Chain A
């Protein structure tokens, strides 16, 4: 079983739609959780950290459920510029090592 699992997609949604991505992680000792965004052939960029209390940044909301080992990302009012691959990332044991999911592709269309 992969340490971090994501639905690869692609998710094709119209502009203005709300879309949700899910991610599960296998190690209950995982400590920190992030969503990164990666555009085609570019570096990953930190989108937001994820906390049990929930975390909102504009149109983006992230949530962590430790009991279910589940992380979510909700994007409201999708924009064309949101088209990218969204990477679920956890740290386990040493905080020095990030474990990446393979990503979920989002394509926002007119």
Chain B
């Protein structure tokens, strides 16, 4: 079991470009969550998805950010027209449906906007 896989590990984008972050959940996990950690801050919830459905996107910025978890393939967090303030570590977590044992996080994608 390879765990939660995120790629790329590091991503550098110029202001105005698009960033696409990928997350493959652990085998057997059907729930995916995205969190963002700004420098020197705690992790903040962004979005919760199940296959083909967005369940809770209350933590997503209203503009430029979107997420999907298609029937086949990884979950994608997409940031359009990136700005310097988007520079952060983006962590994906997955869980089983009961969530009794917490969540397993991927190693994260560190986005740097230059």
Contacts and interface: CB of A to CB of B under 8 A. Distances in A.
Interface of A: 4, 32, 34, 36, 41-46, 49, 87, 94-103
Contacts, number: 55
Contacts of A41: 89, 110
9 contacts: A4-B42, A44-B43, A44-B91, A45-B105, A46-B103, A94-B56, A96-B56, A97-B48, A100-B44
Contact of B55 (A32, A43, A44, A96): A96
A100 B102 contact: no
A4 B43 CA distance: 12
Contacts of A102: 41-42
Interface string B29-49: 001010100000111110010
Interface of B: 31, 33, 35, 41-45, 48, 55-56, 58-59, 89, 91, 93, 99, 101-108, 110
Main secondary structure of the interface of B (DSSP, over half): strand
B42 A103 contact: yes
Contacts of B48: 94, 96-97
A41 B103 CA distance: 18
